[in-house]
Amino acid sequence: MSNTENLQAVIVTTEHRGVFFGYAEDTRGDVIDLVGARMAIYFGTTKGLQQLAETGPTNASKISARADVQLRKITAVFKVTDVAVKAWEAA
């Protein structure tokens, strides 16, 4: 995975119901480049999508392997707490 030190941790959702966690330099515009992105294949949360940004994936979640990805057709960008980043990295 590339260096993420100067990048912000975010969750990005897409028109096609994709839910991606990763690190971005810029989240403005129609295209977002994520470094070390992971997709929530299934998020076993009890408090919805925002729980992924607040506390991260649960043990019931299914999280993909990492890849650098360019996302299009963005519907939302969520800032991710430090607690959630740790959970995403551990998933």
Has residue 2 been placed in a domain?
no
Angle at CA 73, nearest 5°, toward 78 and 48?
A: 35
- Average pLDDT of 1-7? 73
Tell me how far apart the alpha carbons of residues 2 and 36 are, in angstroms, rounded to a whole number: 7
Tell me the three state secondary structure of residue 50: helix
Has residue 32 been placed in a domain?
yes
**88 phi and psi, to 5 degrees?**
-65, -45
pLDDT digits (tens, 9 = 90+) for 41-81: 999 999 999 999 999 999 999 999 999 999 999 999 999 99
Has residue 1 been placed in a domain?
no
Structural domain of 57: 8-90
Can you give the CATH number for the domain in which 67 is found?
2.30.30.100
Total count of domains within the chain: 1
Has residue 55 been placed in a domain?
yes
* Residue 63 · residue 57 · CB < 8 Å: yes
Is a pLDDT exceeding 90 seen at residue 83?
yes
pTM equals 0.93
Has residue 3 been placed in a domain?
no
